[in-house]
Structure formats: structure tokens, C-alpha cells
Structure 1
Amino acid sequence: MQSRIFRLTIIFISSVVVAFAFNFFLLPHEVLTGGVTGLAMVFGLMTPVNTGYWIVLLNIPILILGWMKLGKEFIGNSVFSVVVTSIALIYIPIIEVTQDALLSAVFGGVIAGAAIGVIIRFYSSTGGFDVVSLVLIKKWDVPLGGLIFALNSIVVFISGFFFAWELALYTMLSIYITGLVIDRVHTRHIKLSLMVVTSKGDELKKELLANLVRGITVIEGQGAYSGERKKVLYTVITRYELAIIRPILKEIDPQAFVSVSESMEVMGNFRRD
């Protein structure tokens, strides 16, 4: 229960930060963010209806897709994030922090990207193309930020036609920066090779299998100097799962030799979600 409350608290704060980035940096200069939120910003600028209402309306069909593909808890968290962001957009005033559109695009992109990355890391999303991208990376193991950037580029052309191409380029810059920052925060696509040399192989193997959704290869080994029999456990994990493994290793065999390296590519039977 406490972890659930903590997760929702982080999502709430991050969603408010996203709205802050929009209303303080991007919207005052008509610099948009990407995807569905960007379209909502276009409609919000062109109609009397606030951007927050458009975000909710445009996200309904996408959240239904996510409900079917990503699970009820994830979409429940996403709906919470979308609602919080929408309400915050309505009540946070649009203030021009700086008259420089370039600075606004950069800082708005960084702040929004960091907040969105945290939201996704805590098993949620801001709706829109975040959900579509998360569905796609279950099939294609690519960086989330790069995929979001590719999907969101359509907003650049829309904003160019409706506003000015100079602002469209600022929008492209903001979306690109947002994607880069998301990838720095959301690192699930990064795979790590884990090798553990331990004298408590059976106990450690049992605990790892109970806490991970990964297969483990067990190799019989022997210390060249001591002659002691060892077990070598090898598997590939995500960067998130390293945080799960560290306390297990420390508890069961703090003397184990552990090697962790980044894998350039993983093929074959590897679960990617």
C-alpha cells in the first residue's frame, strides 16, 4: 500500500511539472510538445477550449488501446497522470519566463523530458504517443525517446502550417531534447550481461529465479589459485533489474565475484517486457 501511494505521489508531482514546463516555457511562445499533447496544444491555441480539456478528449482512444495491451494498472496510472496534467494546465497560469523562444524550447524540453521519464519509470505515462511507443517497444527493442521523437515529428509539420516554420523548428528542437532526456531517465531498453561467480550457486540461483523473469545459465567453475569449486551464473537483464539483484547478492553471498557489462544486442529467446 505504501509503495502504491509513493508511486502515485511521484506521478502526481511529475505530472504537475510537465504542466509547468508547458505553461511557463512552451505555450507562451507557441512552441509545442509532440504527439497527442502537441495536437491538444494546437487546438488549445486555436480554439477557446483549454489545452487540458483537449488532452483528455484525444487520449481516450489511445488509453483504450493501452488498456488492452499494457494492463489495467499501467493505464490506471496513466489516466491519473493525464487528469493531473490536464487540471494543472488549467490552473497554472501561462507565464512567459523568457522572451527567447530558443531558451524556452530547450528548458521546456529538458523539464518535460525529465518529468515524463520519471512518470514512465514509475509504471505510468502521459498518454498519447507515450502509450503507443510503449506498445511498440514490446515488439521492437529500441530506445523509447527515439521512438517517441519519430512519432511526434508529425506535430512539427502541423505546427508549421498553422503557425510559423521558425516555431515549428523550435518545436522539433524541444521534442528532440525531450526524447533525449526521457532516454536518460527511462533505461529499460538498455540490456546488461550479468556474470556471478559464487560458492552459493544453488541458493543464489533459486533466489534470482524467484525475483526475475529471466533464464539463468549455470556453468561449473573452479578457482585457478584456490582450487575451490564454484558456480558461474550468467544471464541478461535490464538496467532496472540490476536494482533488484544487488540486495540479493549482498544478502546471499557478499563475497561473490560479479561482472556487469552493457550488451550491444540481444537475440533469441529473451523476454523484452
Structure 2
Amino acid sequence: MVYAKSKEQKLWKKHLISIICVVIASFIMSCNIKSFVRAGNLLPGGFTGLSLLIQRIALELLGISLPYSIINITLNAIPAYIGFKTIGKKFTGYSILMIVLNSFLVDLIPAMPITSDPLLVSVFGGIFNGLAISIALHGKASSGGTDFIAVYLSDRWNTSSWNFVFGLNTIILMISGILFGWEAALYSIIFQFVSTQIIGQLYQRDQRTTLFIVTADPNSLEKALLTYTHHGITRFEGKGCYKDEPRTLLYTVVSANEVKDVVQFVRTYDPKAFVNITKSIKIDGRFYKEPME
């Protein structure tokens, strides 16, 4: 009974964290669009950028003012369906919440340009855009569109695919350059590049870290560690050269965002364990990844 209650509390805590992340990310992204993005006539890439591009084409070429919310929600309908089928129901649900909330906030928040310097707009707009997407991803959500593609490919390929998505966004920006001039389009590419780098630094689920754990008590630690992380472990027997005592090396690879928790877990079993933490550039083979749900 107590275990079931504790499990339910953890579940509600996860829901609450996800909703808070979605609200904060939506607000940051909406304010960014109505300040930096609009001030520099930039396109932030992805379906957000595509929505702004369609809105701009309709206004300047057809003289029709289309609401951003209708365009963005319509464009994201198909990616949301694909995300529901391939990534996870909860992830897609939170993503839809962010898409809708962000869409209406963009229509409701008044324009508030901070600076007209195109380079400052590109750099700081990209920083805030990357920050918003990273917060959403931390809450197991996304801003929709190409973010669905990035998360799906990252899970499929076991590596970060945000640079690949940056390439797709660059194509959208090139189209904008052909239609409305190259200066804004090139600054938009800087914006998107900065945003991609911020996501790469803040969102570590797609990054891998190798742990070399030297311990004198391997039997209890390795079994507990297997259960705790669900990651494979390779065991090497050796000898400590300083005291000439037997030592065991446990080799495992975890996600970068798991490192802190895993090291703390190791300490509970062996406070004297020596842990060497190294960044893994790429892995090839099976790797357990917690589902997005």
C-alpha cells in the first residue's frame, strides 16, 4: 500500500514537472518570437519558422493576415500523429500542449523589440530559443515539428541528431532567402546554429558517458548497478599496484544525464570506489534508453 502510494506520488511529480517545463518553455519561446525574432525579421527554423514564413508570404504577397496559432497548430498535426505512433503518448501529449500554448501566446503577447542590431538579435534570440527547447525536452516535451524528427532519430540512431535537423532548417531558411532577401535569411541561419549549440550543451539525454569503476567489493555492486541503470556492465579482474591488493574494474556506458545519480549510487555500495568518467564520442551496438513514454 505504501509502495503504491509512493509510486503514485512520483508519477504525479513527473506530471507536474513536465507541465511546469512546458509552460516556462512556451512563455520563453513566445516572448523570444515577439522580441528578438520579429525585431530582426528572422525565421527560427523548424515548423515555428515555417509558420512565420507562411504568415509572411500571405501578408506580403497576398495581403492576407493569418493568425500564427492556426498555421502552427495545422502544420504540427501530422508530426504530432507520427510522434504519437513512434515516440510516446505522454511525450506527444505534452508536446501538443506546448504547441497550442505557444501558438496562442504568440498571438496574445504584444510585440516588444529589445534591440534592432541583427547580430545581437541572431545570437541572443538563438540562445533563448535553444533554452526554451531544452527546458521542454527536460520536461519530456518538444516544440513540435522538426523536434519530433530530432527525438525520433536520436532514439533510433543512439546519437544526437540536432545537427541533422539544423541542416533541414537551413533549407527552409534558404527558401526564405530566395523569397525575401538573403540578409535576414543568413542571420536566421546564425540564430538556428546558436540555438542548436545551446540544445547540444543543455540537453544531455543523447550524449553518452563511459564509467570505469574500480572497486574492492564488486559482487554486490555489479548486480545492484545492473538493476539500477539497465545498462550492460563488463567486469575485469586486476591488482592494485600500490598495495598489491586485488581490484575489480567495472566498465559501463550511461547517458550523460545519468552520471551524477549513478556515481552517487556507486558510493552507497562502495564509498572508496574510484570512478573515472570519460565522454563517449559515439557508440555502436545496443544501448538501453529510457523510453519517452
Report TM bin, short chain: over 0.9
For 1:1-273, what aligned pairs fall within 5 Å after superposition?
1-45=12-56, 46=58, 47-271=64-288
- Tell me how far 1:38 sits from its aligned partner: 0.7
- Tell me how far 1:205 sits from its aligned partner: 1.4
Assess if the C-alpha contact under 8 Å between 2:18 and 2:94 holds in 1. no
Q: SS at 1:232's partner residue? A: strand
Q: Structure 1 residues 59-68 or 146-155, which shifts more?
A: 146-155
Q: SS at 1:270's partner residue? A: coil
Letter in 2 for 1:75: T
Letter in 1 for 2:36: F
Assess if the C-alpha contact under 8 Å between 1:144 and 1:183 holds in 2. no
Rounded to whole Å, the distance in 2 between the matches of 1:41 and 1:182 is 22
Assess if the C-alpha contact under 8 Å between 2:21 and 2:138 holds in 1. no
Letter in 2 for 1:246: V
Letter in 1 for 2:25: S
Q: TM-score, normalised by structure 1?
A: 0.93
- Tell me how far 1:180 sits from its aligned partner: 1.1
- Tell me how far 1:255 sits from its aligned partner: 1.0
Unaligned runs of 5+ in 2: 1-11, 59-63
User: Could you tell me the percent identity over the aligned residues?
Assistant: 30
Letter in 2 for 1:26: V
Q: How many correspondences in the alignment?
A: 273
- Tell me how far 1:228 sits from its aligned partner: 3.4
Rounded to whole Å, the distance in 2 between the matches of 1:186 and 1:160 is 30
Assess if the C-alpha contact under 8 Å between 1:59 and 1:128 holds in 2. yes
Rounded to whole Å, the distance in 2 between the matches of 1:131 and 1:216 is 31
Letter in 1 for 2:184: L
- Tell me how far 1:271 sits from its aligned partner: 4.0
CA RMSD of aligned residues (A): 1.8
Letter in 2 for 1:36: F
Q: Structure 1 residues 10-19 or 132-141, which shifts more?
A: 132-141
Assess if the C-alpha contact under 8 Å between 1:194 and 1:258 holds in 2. yes
Assess if the C-alpha contact under 8 Å between 1:193 and 1:260 holds in 2. yes
**Gap change, CA 1:272 and 1:210, over 3 Å in 2:** closer
